[in-house]
Chain A
Amino acid sequence: MDKALDAWFVREILAHEASLAQYLRRCWPQADELHDLRQEVYVRVYEAAAKALPQQPKSFLFATARHLITDRLRRGRVVSIEPAGDFESLNVLIDEVSPEQRCGARQILKRLAEALDRLPDRCRQIVWLRRVEDLPQKEVASRLGISEKAVEKQIAKGMRLLAEHYHGQPAVPANAAAAARRRGAVTEQESG
């Protein structure tokens, strides 16, 4: 029970979930294992941080992900020759993931609103009543004429889906696309 460590983890590690997901997707062909892989990366980072906080949280996160992938490959769980030798490109990749943006309140709200809109109908209605209208779960249940247990289940579902979208969405400021375009132009000059 270490509140400071928990806060650090949310602020410095979870903030990179979108980049991490992208990275894992690229290195790991089995999509159904990504969820598990992500969790294990988080576990390793959290346990290491409990002993000593890394100075460079983001690099540490990606180094951990890379080690985990090599470990799993050694255990022979997947036939892929790429990470076995192509570390060069993996390293490049880390530098390529866009620098995360601490996005402003407006942007966070927009992202949350999008997440809300992606919820299934019933779930969205219940999360709306609970979160926007701030009704207690009990009252939501009586208003909709359903059991409290049912409300609780929908809230739990909403929590999972909101988190997936909230953490998993890259924070893209309005000019990021332009920046990406500029980066593309630079690369072209280098290679051509």
Chain B
Amino acid sequence: MNAGSRQIEHDAAAWLARRDGGDWSAEQTAALERWLSAATAHRVAFLRLEAAWAESDRLKALGAGLARGELPERGRWTQNRFGLRARRAEEAETHRRALADAAVAARAERRSRARAPARRLAAAALAATALLAVALSWGWQRYERVQPQAYRTAIGSLREIALADGSAATMSSDSAIEVALSRHERHIELQRGEAYFEVAKDAARPFAVQAGERRIVAVGTRFSVRRDGDEVRVVVSEGTVRLESAPQDGRGQPVTLLPAGSSALATAAGVLVRDGSIADAERALDWRRGYLVFLDTPLAVAVAEFNRYNRRPLVIGDAAAAQLRIGGSFRWSNAEVFANLLEQALPVRAERESERIVLYSR
């Protein structure tokens, strides 16, 4: 398709918009038909736009209750931007309804008795219950505070953890975290490895991940933190996070803000931030789905990545092999398949020993 798919899409949209404009003659119908028949690429592009535009007729529903000519501000319909919050909203709704039902039932019962002493008794009971609930929750918070939860993964396995505040963490291979949810802060310590967080929104309780000397703070967002010794890597796929460093020589360190799509590498020398698209950030997080993605990556680096996930390590046999470059996405769970592929596609010879696989250049 040498015309270029974007150009074709533009042309298809132009046809559709002209037809939408009215004054559509028989000649124009025929001309459109000729354009559609000229290439299947024209037809599929047109069908695709036409289908979405036809569906957009449903948007009329949005105008309900608004004065004509009034354009509402953005975001009015899209408060629940992702499943997590939507689900919580649903739960809250169910809960609210259950409470309302209970209240109705209680009122009906009270009315049927219609006796003052009973009402007073009920009120006292209610107050007592409320007091108990407060005491319990306070105790629970304290308990949570002094009792951090530790989670670990072995080499080659991932783990998903649902945290009590509605957030979720996905731990990568060979990682360790400790979670402490207090009333004022949700504190996670990344002791080793890498973890990806989907943070439930709670403005009153910041979500902070401590990785050695660095602290990564978010309110409601998605990001991952990885620790290799003193190096800390942060990838943000939604929202904004704040990267803080421990004070050095008694002086505070600058704070770095990381928007969605960016990644940061914090080393002893400083913080390096790279901006990218959200797709780039998602790509860097493909390990969650079982893949490692490389783009023109030196073999030595790719092998080091693989070894984070496998007990039987890949070893580079000589300097020439280390410098070969590879691209593609690979299942991290199978180093053997990876070695086979390397042998097929690169000047590489693999020697398979029982404890390791050594890669030599050919």
Contact B43 A39 (CB under 8 A): no
What does DSSP make chain A's interface, helix, strand, loop or mixed? helix
- Residue B126 lies at the interface, judged by CB distance under 8 Å to chain A: no
Q: How far is the CA of A132 from the CA of B77 in the complex (A)?
A: 14
Point out the residues of chain A lying under 8 angstroms from B37, CB to CB.
1
Once the chains bind, are A36 and B22 in contact (CB under 8 Å)?
Answer: no
Task: Annotate A12-29 by CB proximity to B: 1 below 8 A, 0 otherwise.
Answer: 001000000000011101
A43 touches B1 (CB 8 A): yes
Closest to B331 in A: A89
Interface size class of B (residues with CB under 8 A): 35 or more
Chain B residues in 8 Å Cβ range of A134: 60
Interface residues on A, range: 35 or more
Which chain B residue has the least Cβ–Cβ distance from A33? B5
Q: For the complex, give the distance between the alpha carbons of A80 and B346 in Å.
A: 10
With a CB–CB cut-off of 8 A, which chain B residues contact A42? 44, 48
Q: For the complex, what is the distance from the CA of A156 to the CA of B158, rounded to whole Å?
A: 46
Contact A131 B328 (CB under 8 A): no
Q: Are A80 and B77 in contact (CB under 8 A)?
A: no
* B150 beta carbon closer than 8 Å to chain A: no
Q: Decide yes or no whether B120 CB sits under 8 A from chain A.
A: no
Contact residue among A9, A163, A175 (Cβ-Cβ distance under 8 Å from B53): A163
Residue with the highest number of chain A CB atoms closer than 10 Å, among B58, B341, B344? B58
**CB-CB under 8 A for A176 and B83, given A10-B51, A113-B78, A131-B60:** yes
Q: Please report the C-alpha to C-alpha distance between residue A110 and residue B328 in the assembled complex, in whole angstroms.
A: 35
Q: Do A112 and B59 have beta carbons less than 8 Å apart?
A: yes
B87 to chain A: which residues have CB within 8 Å? Answer: 174-175, 177-178
Tell me the nearest residue of chain A to B340, going by C-beta.
A85
Q: Does B45 contact A (CB under 8 A)?
A: yes
Using a CB-CB cutoff of 8 Å, which residues 70-91 of chain A contact chain B? 79-86, 88-89
Q: In the assembled complex, how far is the CB of residue B327 from the closest CB belonging to chain A, in whole angstroms?
A: 5
Contact assessment for A88 and B337 in the assembled complex, using a CB-CB cutoff below 8 Å = yes
CB within 8 Å of B: which of A166-186? 166-167, 172-178, 181, 184-185
B75 contacts A117, C-beta separation under 8 Å: yes
B90 neighbours in A (Cβ, 8 Å): 174
Which of chain B's residues have a CB closer than 8 A to the CB of A88? Answer: 337
Distance in angstroms between the alpha carbons of A143 and B162 in the assembled complex: 53
Do A116 and B328 touch across chains, with their CB atoms under 8 A apart? Answer: no
How would residues 117 to 133 of chain A score, 1 for a CB under 8 Å from any chain B CB and 0 otherwise?
10000001101111111
| Complex contacts, B331 vs chain A, CB 8 Å | 86, 89, 92
Given contacts A14-B51, A86-B341, contact A125 B59 (CB under 8 A): no
**What is the bound-complex CA distance between A167 and B279, given in angstroms?**
17
How far, in whole Å, are A172 and B279 apart by their CA atoms in the complex? 18
Q: Is the CB of A46 within 8 A of B44?
A: yes
What CA separation (Å) do A29 and B10 show in the bound complex?
25
Stretch at the interface among B186-194, B238-246, B288-296: B288-296
Q: Which A residues are in CB contact (< 8 Å) with B83?
A: 172-177
B52 touches A187 (CB 8 A): no
| Residue in contact with A82 in the complex, picked from B14, B44, B78, B341, CB distance below 8 Å | B341
Q: Do B279 and A81 have beta carbons less than 8 Å apart?
A: no
Q: Closest A residue to B14 by CB, please name it.
A: A156
What is the 8 Å Cβ interface bit string for chain A, positions 34-73, against chain B (1 contact, 0 not)? Answer: 0110111011001100000000000000000000000000
Beta-carbon contact of A39 and B328 below 8 Å:
no
Tell me the complex Cα distance, A191–B173, Å: 11
Kindly list chain B residues whose C-beta atoms are within 8 Å of the C-beta of A86.
328, 330-331, 337, 341
For the complex formed, measure the closest distance between the CB of A178 and the CB atoms of chain B, giving whole angstroms: 7
Given contacts A43-B44, A112-B59, contact A36 B328 (CB under 8 A): no
Residues of B near any A CB (own CB < 8 A): 1, 4-6, 8-10, 13-14, 16-18, 20-22, 33, 36-37, 40-41, 43-45, 47-49, 51-53, 55-63, 68-69, 71, 74-75, 77-78, 82-84, 86-87, 90, 154, 156-160, 162, 168, 170, 277, 279, 283, 286, 289-291, 293, 295, 326-331, 333, 337, 340-342, 344-346
Q: A155-B20, A157-B13 are in contact. List 8 more A-B contacts (CB 8 A).
A: A31-B279, A82-B329, A82-B330, A85-B340, A109-B61, A156-B10, A181-B168, A192-B154
List 30 contacting pairs A-B, 8 Å CB cutoff, sorted by A. A1-B33, A1-B37, A35-B9, A38-B5, A40-B5, A42-B44, A43-B40, A46-B44, A81-B327, A82-B328, A85-B340, A109-B59, A112-B55, A112-B59, A116-B62, A132-B59, A152-B17, A152-B21, A159-B16, A159-B17, A160-B10, A160-B13, A163-B51, A166-B56, A172-B82, A174-B83, A174-B87, A175-B83, A177-B82, A188-B160
- Residues on A lying within 8 angstroms of B by beta carbon are 1, 6, 9-10, 14, 25-27, 29, 31, 35-36, 38-40, 42-43, 46-47, 79-86, 88-89, 92, 96, 105, 108-110, 112-117, 124-125, 127-134, 136-138, 143, 148, 151-153, 155-157, 159-160, 162-163, 166-167, 172-178, 181, 184-185, 187-188, 191-192
